[in-house]
Amino acid sequence: MRPDDADHYCVIGNPVAHSKSPLIHAAFAARTGQHIAYGRRLAPLDGFADVVRDLIAKGYKGANVTVPFKLEAAALATRLEERARAAGAVNTLSFVDGEIVGDNTDGPGLVADIVRNAGVPLAGKRILLLGAGGAARGVMLPFLQQGPAAIVVANRTLATAEALVGAFQDQVTQVSACGFDGIRGEFDIVVNATSASLSQALPPVPASAFTKDTLALDMMYGDQPTPFMQFAARQGARTRDGFGMLVEQAAEAFAIWRDVRPDTHDLLTTLRS
């Protein structure tokens, strides 16, 4: 096979140099025998749509979208999948038959990491979601589809949490909003969807939210456990960073594009080491 036979994809962001997506997709392609080329594309802050048009003109089949373009990608798409509409954001674009199809695999990636990789089913569980921004919104529908008993959305700005919860009322799951000082009771799963870890800050979640059976997951990842993970570990909780979510959202995007689901288990183990 010649390299120029490959179907082309990339991740668009600003910044984008740090993105691990090319590494992950290359590993998926090698493992599934799919012939793709996946690169990085830095878009100027006011040039996202131009980059997408350029990719389409060059015959690209799709792209992932990262910070800060996920909302713009949703606006640019000519068709949105349900989970992208619910998230209000797009991280996966497919260029098919003249359409720009927008999907969002971040939430399904998080669910896959919790359920399959961490082995924690969400049905009937009590979930505490910290934060009410784009990252939190993106996981609401995928969480609700798992049928948890309750989702409590806690945010620094209460009104934002209330607005988010208002958009996701559900027949099965009790969905409610509070400030950090309104968090009551223990939770099976606590997800940090705030951007606090970016500035090494700890969202003011009470120690009483955690038990030794709680899974505490930070959507961020890095070389060291985040302040949230360190705090949760001190309460005896089991902790997990966002690296599994990153790999799983990539696997979901790969499956959308290629109709083949890569096995993520051994890749996660390899990349972590």
Binding residue positions = 19-21, 66, 82, 91, 106, 131-135, 219, 221, 242, 249
Q: Report in angstroms how near the CB of residue 227 gets to ligand ATR at its nearest.
A: 10
Provide the angle, in degrees to the nearest 10, between the axes of the packed helices 265-272 and 243-258.
140
Dist. CA 263–CA 259, nearest whole Å: 13
Q: What is the dihedral of CA 248, 249, 251, 257, to 10 degrees?
A: 170
61 is catalytic: no
Number of C-beta neighbours around residue 27 at 10 A: 18
Q: How many residues bind ligand ATR (CB under 6 A)?
A: 15
Between residues 40 and 156, which has the closer beta carbon with respect to ligand ATR? 156
Q: Is the dihedral of CA 89, 166, 159, 193 positive or negative?
A: negative
Task: Estimate to the nearest angstrom the gap between the alpha carbon of 250 and the chain centroid.
Answer: 9
Q: Report in angstroms how near the CB of residue 178 gets to ligand ATR at its nearest.
A: 13
Between residues 52 and 140, which has the closer beta carbon with respect to ligand ATR? 140
Between residues 32 and 176, which has the closer beta carbon with respect to ligand ATR? 176
* Catalytic annotation, pick one of 58, 61, 70, 212: 70
Phi first, then psi: give them for residue 83, nearest 5 degrees.
-70, -25
Q: Report in angstroms how near the CB of residue 138 gets to ligand ATR at its nearest.
A: 8
**Residues 80 to 139 in contact with ligand ATR, rule: CB under 6 A:** 131-136
Phi first, then psi: give them for residue 47, nearest 5 degrees.
-125, 25
Question: What track of x and - describes contact with ligand ATR for positions 132 through 171 (by CB under 6 A)?
Answer: xxxxx------------------xxx--x-----------
Binding-site residue set for NADP(+): 82, 131-135, 219, 242
Between residues 101 and 136, which has the closer beta carbon with respect to ligand ATR? 136
Widest CA span in the chain: 59
Q: Which two tokens stand for residue 47?
A: 């040039």
**Residues 185 to 224 in contact with ligand ATR, rule: CB under 6 A:** 194-196, 201, 203
The residues facing 65 across adjacent strands are 12
Phi first, then psi: give them for residue 32, nearest 5 degrees.
-105, -5
Binding-site residue set for shikimate: 19-21, 66, 91, 106, 221, 249
Q: Report in angstroms how near the CB of residue 70 gets to ligand ATR at its nearest.
A: 7
- By beta-carbon distance, which residue lies closest to ligand ATR? 133
Nearest partner of 175 among 227, 128, 113, 123, judged by Cα: 128
Dist. CA 160–CA 180, nearest whole Å: 13
Between residues 95 and 143, which has the closer beta carbon with respect to ligand ATR? 143
Q: Report in angstroms how near the CB of residue 233 gets to ligand ATR at its nearest.
A: 19
Q: Which two tokens stand for residue 240?
A: 């997990």
**CB of 202 closer than 8 Å to CB of 224:** no
Binding site residues, ligand ATR, CB under 6 A: 131-136, 155-157, 160, 194-196, 201, 203
Could you give the residue numbers annotated as active site?
70
